[in-house]
Amino acid sequence: MKKLILIATIAVAAAFAANAQSFEKISEILDSEEVNLAQISYMAGTCGFNLPENSNYTTAFEEMKRRRFFKQDAKESDKATLAQASYVFMKAAKMDGGLMYKITDSKRYAFKELKARGVIPQTAEASLPLSGHDAINLLNSCISEAK
C-alpha cells in the first residue's frame, strides 16, 4: 500500500512539474514585447503538432524548421513577423485557406487569408513584429476560425 501511495505521489508531482514548465513558458511569451521564432514554434507545436508541453523552445523551433516553416538560415532568436506567425498558426490550427493560399502555401497568403477573415486588422502590415499577447490572441483566433 505504501508503494502505491509513493508511486501516485511521484506521478502527481511529475504532472505538476510539467504543467509548471508550460505555464512558465506561456507567461514568458505573454510578457514578450516581440515574440521570436522559437516562441511561436512552441505555441504552434504544442497546439497543433503534438509536441509535448514540456518541450523546450529549441526542440519546437527545430521541429518547425524541419517542417520547412522557416528558412534554413533562420535563428531561434529572430523576431517573428505577423506573416510568419499567421502561416505557422494556420498550419497548427489546420485551417483551410483560399485558392491562392492552397496553390502557393505561403506566408503571404496566410496573412492575406487572416486579413480577409477579419482576424487581422486591414491596416496591419505583414512585416510587423507582434507582442506575446497578440501572438496568443492570433493563435486562439486561428483555432476558433478552424472549427
The whole-number pLDDT of residue 7 equals: 46
Q: How far is CA 111 from the centre of its chain?
A: 15
pTM of the model: 0.83
> 23-56: per-residue pLDDT in tens?
889 999 999 999 999 999 999 999 999 999 889 9
Question: Does 65 have pLDDT greater than 50?
Answer: yes
> 74-89: per-residue pLDDT in tens?
999 999 999 999 999 9
